[in-house]
Amino acid sequence: MTNIIQLDDAIPRAYQDQIQAELGSTRMTWFFHEESARAAKAQFDTNFAGFSHPAFNIREPSPVLSPLNAVLVPILYMFCEKAGLPFTMLMRVRIGLFTKGALEAPHHNPHVDFYEPHYTALYYVNDTDGDTWVFNETYQDVPAHLAPAHVNEGKFTVAGRVAPKKGRMAAFDGRHYHASMHPADHVSRIVVTYNFR
């Protein structure tokens, strides 16, 4: 069982508006993915396509991948201070976009972002639907090579859910599998994912 920390209005309203304006802009660059989880798409019975914009990745030769990183990282600093979470190292900042879609599945394919100890935090950019699902299982319980079969057989058990809301931020132990979902009632769902220690 994992503890999900959730805060509304994690940053000031004017900052929320600025982030939404920037990330929802027609000038925003998005990259298409046929499968939103990390494993190869062929390994899942069902695939869920989406878009992303990488802002920072510690594993890249030049970790800062987008100028937006400069306006996104302070959000994490403020959240960690309010939530009482330790922060020593930024691992990744990734913006994700899903557009409206009628899907029969309750959520996308469960995954973890890094197979090493870390926190995962999510900042919800706009008012939308498409909950984030967090599962009881960790990568220690279900190793990477077994995860697709675990997904296909419906073996993951739900620890909690977070409903998207503009300005809301949530964090949990990044060892836990988690999944997003397309919005069914809104045009788009934009979320900034942070991985850190």
Whether 161 and 6 have beta carbons less than 8 Å apart is answered as no
> Does residue 123 form part of some domain?
yes
> Does residue 128 form part of some domain?
yes
- Decide the pairing of beta strands 90-99 and 50-57: antiparallel
> Does residue 109 form part of some domain?
yes
Taking only the tens of pLDDT, the chain with its 197 residues reads 579 999 999 999 999 999 999 999 999 999 999 887 765 555 788 889 999 999 999 999 999 999 999 999 999 999 999 999 999 999 999 999 999 987 788 999 999 999 999 999 999 999 999 999 999 999 999 998 899 899 999 999 999 999 999 999 999 999 999 999 999 999 999 999 999 99
Tell me the residue range of the domain where 83 lies. 5-24+35-196
- When divided into structural domains, the chain yields a total of 1
Amino acid at 23: L
Joined tokens for residue 174: 């990044």
> Does residue 20 form part of some domain?
yes
Residue with tokens 């319980």: 141
The per-residue pLDDT for 39 is: 52
> Does residue 48 form part of some domain?
yes
